Amino acid sequence: MESPIRKLHPVSIWNHFSDLNAVPRPSKKEERVIEFMVNFGKKLMLDTTVDEVGNVIIKKPATIGFENKKL
């Protein structure tokens, strides 16, 4: 049965969220979700790294023309 989350809008965002939610990640056993996120970032050709404690850092450059925009 398909998750009702996959029907929310915007569909592409909620599909990614649902895929992430499907990855088992019990405490102290986060290897699979780390691999999932690294693959996600690399598939999009984004700068993707994992730090010494297992945080996945995905960096996306600013859109052209917005490089110096303040939040």
Bridge partner residues of 49 (DSSP): 57
- Tens of pLDDT, residues 10-62: 999 999 999 999 999 999 999 999 999 999 999 999 999 999 999 999 999 99
Q: What is the DSSP letter of 23?
A: S
Cis status, amide bond into 10, omega within 30 of 0: yes
Copy the structure tokens of residue 58.
């995905």
Degrees, nearest 5: CA angle 31-24-26: 70
Amino acid 20: pLDDT: 96
Tell me the whole-structure pTM to 2 decimals: 0.84
